[in-house]
Structure 1
């Protein structure tokens, strides 16, 4: 009870000091220490020391976990596609650092200090989008993915890339190898405030699949760990990480020593497909959190300054620093981190492979506040010095309060660990039964999810086929419309030609009538002048005109007869075709009738054969009965005593 009261008192004092101190920085400019980074993730997993990558973190998850696939979804922001994780620790592990798969421990997170919407590589093609976590050995601008395992990759239909239930649309892992061959790398890099980010598919590309503009959220800074999605904004905790040479996880498992001591307790296995053992993972976590750990495997920081199987690292020479000025050190580290980021050269879009990552850098920039020069100072300088000293004293008081709070918390944690050990021993059997029940429930859920995925894939495939059918129908309609337009144009041209011919014929007829009228006038004049001499010539001309008219009529009649003959020929051809079809139908009907008759005859033959067989069987039975009767009669006669003859 005294410990609880002491904790409450120290907490109240720390809150009062924090409220009283002036705050200058905003949420984005705030910096947390590297130690806070380690402590924040400790309750959710196990820290393991890797000889190549330093301290890596293993989350407490089940066998279905894959980074950037389970427990989250994608949203579009001004930085591109941003991963929104449902895990309490997702604000750190999916936006800082990298992921890799170890053939013994499984998925490991390697800490990083630069924020990004997601550290993944993207691919697209054949109506799908795919992504995979980037390994620490690949530069973030490299788009080749990570590892040789196809199970690193997740693929989903492009239309569902921003769906909150995207996990239900992933294609099965056994199809990834086939799909990835039909995709290409998405090299889309966003540049914002001098930093480059892998954005993934653009909003315009996604719109081609969803047929609507994707919603673009604005990223805002959260004041506490976590990610919250609003109607228009995504609030993400993304502080600057203030690095420290002496920052370490509270408990670290020597990965090589644990693997050598437990060769058959493999947590995960790669090579073609990824497997995971939940029991072995719990065994590792219990070993790391044990109240009486094996010091050859688990190192508790504070007892030894060196890492397992490693020589002590020489720290750089530093000037004396104020012990309690925690906030000022954090701000100094934040500023130095920002300067280092600003001085980094811009990376191009080419694939660049960095040297092997060897864990935390030990040579940190000196962030010691500058010394105050002594000597004859003005009153204003003395006031400034006094104000600085007061600020240092306040920071020292806050640091002392923080240390007292940590000591009380450690005492409480020790008591809780002792009680937890007893509860763990008492609940081991219950946990095993609960795990089996949970495993059965997870298997049922996975079966249901697979069934839902199959149904949705079938729906997606059906929709795709319907779209293809609609496109084919539209193309066919367009082709028919083009053919109809061409026919209409031809008919219009023919009508125009006919109209021109009629106009020419009418003009010729009018000319002939005019000529005839002129000739008539001339003839009348000549008749008046010459009288009967020219009457004979006029008759000849009229005869010639009648002959010409008769010839024209004969030509028109011949053309009409030719057209009638063509129509008759077409009608005859159509009649012949109809007769041919009718004959084919009759032949088919006759064939069907013949087949039916043959089937009927075969059925009759079978019935007759069955009847004959039944008659034969009846005759056989009757013969057998007669034979049996004769045998019985013979036996009776043989058994009868012989008749006595009279002597």
Structure 2
């Protein structure tokens, strides 16, 4: 029985693994085309027809927008440093294609076919990490070889300790300091290879751990089957990254002629390179309003491709994609789990939007039919005018012929011919008056029709304006409700971020305190060792001094002993000399005495001889 239960468990586990693998493989096998980029991003920006790069996209972003800097942060995945954008449209422009800064339109995105964690270049040095978007003309070989130049205002720098912080935008280096930091950094040539494809990885996990002294969380890539913002759940980073198939029929629904708009609006520049590659939000909003307007005055710069889907063989995964709101995500919000509440109430709004688009299309067709009718009436009037001119030329030719015949004929024939010519002339005059009357009547009828059509168009425009105002109000109410829910969620997320940041700061403070305590203990131990060493040196010095004193004392004693010995020798020598002197004196005295005695003795006989 136990074997049967174990066998059943193993079968269930194998079935679950098979289902999971098949689901993941299916997600990886999803395909889209550029048409999906055009349709999904239409509501979040403006498509331009650039003479050099084709269809490029300008986002409806705020004034300080910069790719891979605004509303997002870095996380570490198996592919390296991956950009997690807080924009609902961030799944496409930050992982496919390239970005460039146009002096007039500002930041433009050029679609691409290959997915990547982030198409940026990396630098490191002086305690900072820096990154900048790769341009459309930069290949991976050039990026790895550093055989190109990225403008300095493309770069963003942040302290290395905060590279994986969800609020890294709070630590960006101010723009005036970027130039100095850039000169003190070096290029990072780390890359990740998978399935014969290379990806720019940026700083490695162990390099970040060595700087932050914390373990770096490495997330697994989990493939989704519908577009949307990237989200983190547990150890997975949920990403929509389908393969992009090349087709010839893809084109945006509305596209602005970049050259024509620039020439018609030279004073409404969007890009501002003097402020660090920033954009003028008001001019960008003006471009978006003109691109989405149905005003006939803008048809010379806005092209509407209403039949762009007629040649499409199929629509890839369109039914499985969430309903996106019609306004971009604003504010600096970090990435958190999906918010399904923002997507549940958009179906009715999307149906109303589709009805409005269908009604606008029928109105446009009606206007086109009216324009064709007016063109036909103009051609018919031109044809009538041409007929009249031809009749007048024929009449003049006939008059010339009649005059020539009159000159050649008899007087009677000339009279009959003149009467006939007069009757013919009267008939022609009557026919001309009748035609002029018909033309005037037709012109009056056309003017009346034009007035009625103008009144009808004005009434239709007022009705459409009222409907648009109602729909706009409904959309505003829906957006306000969604914005309120989003603000509430943002507040909750902000509280969670603050708590997480406080915990992180508390942990960092504890670690700093522990490190400070360890440093203090090490300093105390070092001071104790230095004191012990100083005491040992002092003792050695004292011992040396004592030894020197003893040596000096011994030398003094020896010197005193030698002095005493010398004194003794001197005394002995003096004594010896004294003895010698005494001996000499004694000897001399004895000699003198002997001499005296001998002299005396000699003198005594003489005296005796003198005595008789």
Provide the TM-score with structure 1 as the length reference. 0.49
Q: Distance in 1 between matches of 2:361 and 2:554?
A: 117
In structure 1, what is the equivalent of residue 260 of structure 2? 257
- Alignment map for 1:260-299 (pairs within 5 Å): 260-271=263-274, 273-293=276-296, 294-299=298-303
In structure 1, what is the equivalent of residue 132 of structure 2? 132
- Alignment map for 1:534-613 (pairs within 5 Å): 558=553
Do the aligned partners of 1:116 and 1:197 also contact (CA within 8 Å) in 2? yes
In structure 1, what is the equivalent of residue 90 of structure 2? 90
Over 3 Å counting, the alpha-carbon distance change for 1:170 and 1:217 in structure 2 is: same
Q: Secondary structure, in 3 states, of the residue corresponding to 2:226?
A: coil
In structure 2, what is the equivalent of residue 173 of structure 1? 175
In structure 2, what is the equivalent of residue 51 of structure 1? 51
Q: Secondary structure, in 3 states, of the residue corresponding to 2:99?
A: strand
- Alignment map for 1:456-535 (pairs within 5 Å): 480=527, 483=530
In structure 2, what is the equivalent of residue 36 of structure 1? 36
Over 3 Å counting, the alpha-carbon distance change for 1:131 and 1:423 in structure 2 is: farther
Q: Distance in 2 between matches of 1:212 and 1:58?
A: 39
Do the aligned partners of 1:106 and 1:267 also contact (CA within 8 Å) in 2? yes
What per-residue deviation string (whole Å, max 9, x for no partner) do you get for residues 430-488 of structure 1? x9xxxxxx9xxxxxxxxxx9xx9xxx9xx9xx999999999997886686566567668
Distance apart, 1:245 and its partner CA: 1.0
2:314 matched to 1:326? yes
Q: Secondary structure, in 3 states, of the residue corresponding to 2:43?
A: helix
What per-residue deviation string (whole Å, max 9, x for no partner) do you get for residues 95-130 of structure 1? 001111110001100001100000111111111111
Gaps of 5+ in 2: 1-21, 319-352, 365-460, 477-482, 484-493, 558-612
Over 3 Å counting, the alpha-carbon distance change for 1:476 and 1:220 in structure 2 is: same
Which of the numbers 411, 424, 429 marks the counterpart of 2:358?
411
Q: Distance in 1 between matches of 2:285 and 2:466?
A: 17
Distance apart, 1:162 and its partner CA: 0.7
Do the aligned partners of 1:149 and 1:271 also contact (CA within 8 Å) in 2? no
Q: Secondary structure, in 3 states, of the residue corresponding to 2:153?
A: helix
What per-residue deviation string (whole Å, max 9, x for no partner) do you get for residues 26-46 of structure 1? 001110122122111111110
Q: Secondary structure, in 3 states, of the residue corresponding to 2:41?
A: helix
Which of the numbers 304, 309, 321 marks the counterpart of 1:300?
304
Q: Distance in 1 between matches of 2:316 and 2:283?
A: 44
Q: Secondary structure, in 3 states, of the residue corresponding to 1:109?
A: strand
Distance apart, 1:238 and its partner CA: 0.2
Over 3 Å counting, the alpha-carbon distance change for 1:156 and 1:24 in structure 2 is: closer
Do the aligned partners of 1:134 and 1:146 also contact (CA within 8 Å) in 2? no
Over 3 Å counting, the alpha-carbon distance change for 1:286 and 1:157 in structure 2 is: same
2:247 matched to 1:244? yes
Distance apart, 1:215 and its partner CA: 0.6
Aligned length: 369
Q: Secondary structure, in 3 states, of the residue corresponding to 2:36?
A: helix
Q: Distance in 1 between matches of 2:274 and 2:243?
A: 37
Q: Secondary structure, in 3 states, of the residue corresponding to 2:116?
A: coil
Q: Secondary structure, in 3 states, of the residue corresponding to 1:92?
A: coil
Distance apart, 1:279 and its partner CA: 1.9
Do the aligned partners of 2:250 and 2:308 also contact (CA within 8 Å) in 1? no
Provide the TM-score with structure 2 as the length reference. 0.52
The structure having more radius of gyration, on CA atoms, is 2
Q: Distance in 2 between matches of 1:469 and 1:555?
A: 49
In structure 2, what is the equivalent of residue 156 of structure 1? 158
Over 3 Å counting, the alpha-carbon distance change for 1:420 and 1:108 in structure 2 is: farther
Q: Distance in 1 between matches of 2:312 and 2:276?
A: 51
Do the aligned partners of 2:65 and 2:279 also contact (CA within 8 Å) in 1? no
Distance apart, 1:270 and its partner CA: 1.3
Distance apart, 1:274 and its partner CA: 3.0
Q: Secondary structure, in 3 states, of the residue corresponding to 1:94?
A: coil
In structure 2, what is the equivalent of residue 183 of structure 1? 185
Q: Distance in 2 between matches of 1:90 and 1:480?
A: 57
Q: Distance in 2 between matches of 1:155 and 1:181?
A: 12
What per-residue deviation string (whole Å, max 9, x for no partner) do you get for residues 569-604 of structure 1? xxxxxxxxxxxxxxxxxxxxxxxxxxxxxxxxxxxx
Q: Distance in 2 between matches of 1:132 and 1:290?
A: 35
- Alignment map for 1:51-450 (pairs within 5 Å): 51-141=51-141, 142=143, 144=146, 149-226=151-228, 227-271=230-274, 273-293=276-296, 294-301=298-305, 326=314, 411=358, 414=361
Q: What is the aligned-residue RMSD (CA, Å)? A: 4.8
